[in-house]
Each structure stands twice: as structure tokens, then as C-alpha cells.
Amino acid sequence: MFGFVLSFLLSPLGKALAAVLAVSVIAGGIYLYGHQRGCMSEQASFARWINQQNEDAGNAAEDWRARYRRCAERGGVFDYETGSCHE
């Protein structure tokens, strides 16, 4: 049995099949590596987007707090619907 397998692998057809198998394994590895790198890149991009959204929300809240505080310090009435101060 082992002699048959060895003789097949040493034949031209066996060598060609081994080469095709090797190229297929290498191509599959390259594809999977690229796919993983693409997923990691997309995850990093999504994390940057979330962080930017959080920063923008924090800045908007701080801006609103400052406008409200300035209105209250001047003795005005803050209109929450329009975001303006009526003195």
C-alpha cells in the first residue's frame, strides 16, 4: 500500500497534484490573512467613528451647559426648545 502511494507521488501526475495542492493552500492562507486584516481594519475604523461621536456629544453637552450657565448668571430664562436665553 505504501509503495503504491510513494510511486504515485513520484509520478508526474502526483507531482502536479502536489503542486496544485500546495498553491491552493498558500492562496487560501493569503486570502484568510487578508480577510482577517480587513476585518481588523474595519473594526478600528468603527472604533474611531464611535470615539468621534462620543467626543462630539460631549462637546455639544458642554456647549449647552455653558450657554445655560451664562443665561442663568445674567438672570435670564433659558428656553429649552430653542436653546436661547430670554433676558
36-64 pLDDT, tens digit per residue, is 888 888 888 899 999 999 999 999 999 99
List CB contacts of 14: < 8 A, sequence separation 6 or more: 8
Rounded to a whole number of angstroms, the distance between the first and last alpha carbons of the chain is 99
CA 1, CA 67: separation in Å to the nearest integer? 87
Give 2's pLDDT tier (boundaries 50, 70, 90): low
Q: Which phi and psi (to 5°) does residue 75 adopt?
A: 85, 20
Rounded average pLDDT over 68-87: 88
CA 68, CA 17: separation in Å to the nearest integer? 76
77-86 pLDDT, tens digit per residue, is 888 888 888 8
The domain spans of the chain are: 2-86
